[in-house]
Amino acid sequence: MTDVFISYSRKDIAFARLLHEALVENQLETWIDWQDIPPSADWLAEVYEAIEGADAFVFIISETSLASEICGLEIAHAAKHNKRLIPIVIKDVEAEQVPKELSVLNWIFFDEAGEKFAEAMDDLVTAITVDQDWVKGHTRFQNRALDWEKKERDRGALLRGADLSEAEAWLSGSAEKDPGPTALQTEFILKSREDATRRQR
């Protein structure tokens, strides 16, 4: 699992490298795809897995990233899994070009160097790390739930013992949290409790 997944257009690679280096300097583990290779099923599956394993999803907004089919797929996958979405703007764009998942959020505006970059970087680090225990729990339990789903909802993949207690405490505190729990997480935790109760009889 990583702290942040960075989604960007290849035409913005210079800024993406700058951003990646700054995040690493702030002790944040990042996942970013530097390979300029054609999409394939295996490659896209790897990207999706990286999104699922990241606590936050940073999207670099520019005209080229908004026009990118791959970037669109990445946004949709992050939204599907209720990832913490953080849009950052490096070039002015028309508001109507921005996907709904990002348009409703607060944007962080960057320039490529100087004082404004440092200020925006501080805002980005705060956005990534706020309520970090909650978000790390979100990633952990979503990945456990996805594993359960991949195993065709096998009882052996359900939560038990301390893991189940921790998951229930996490879920019970979710009312005003962002990102909220996914439907799959909720079902997974409830099914885990049902199974634990059944085994105690």
What integer pLDDT is reported at residue 171 of this predicted model?
Answer: 96
* Whether 118 and 192 share a structural domain: no
- pLDDT tens, residue by residue, 78-124: 999 999 999 999 988 888 889 999 988 999 999 765 678 889 999 99
CATH number of the domain residue 113 falls in:
3.40.50.10140
Residue where a domain terminates, one of 77, 109, 129: 129
Q: For residues 191, 101, 139 and 107, what is the CA-based torsion angle, rounded to 10 degrees?
A: -150
This prediction's pTM: 0.90
* Whether 125 and 191 share a structural domain: no
For residue 68, give its domain range: 2-129
Write the burial class of residue 64 (CB in 10 Å: 0-12 exposed, 13-18 middle, 19+ buried): middle
* Whether 81 and 167 share a structural domain: no
* Whether 70 and 168 share a structural domain: no
Count of structural domains within the chain: 2
- pLDDT tens, residue by residue, 145-192: 999 999 999 999 999 999 999 999 999 999 889 899 999 999 999 999
* Whether 88 and 152 share a structural domain: no
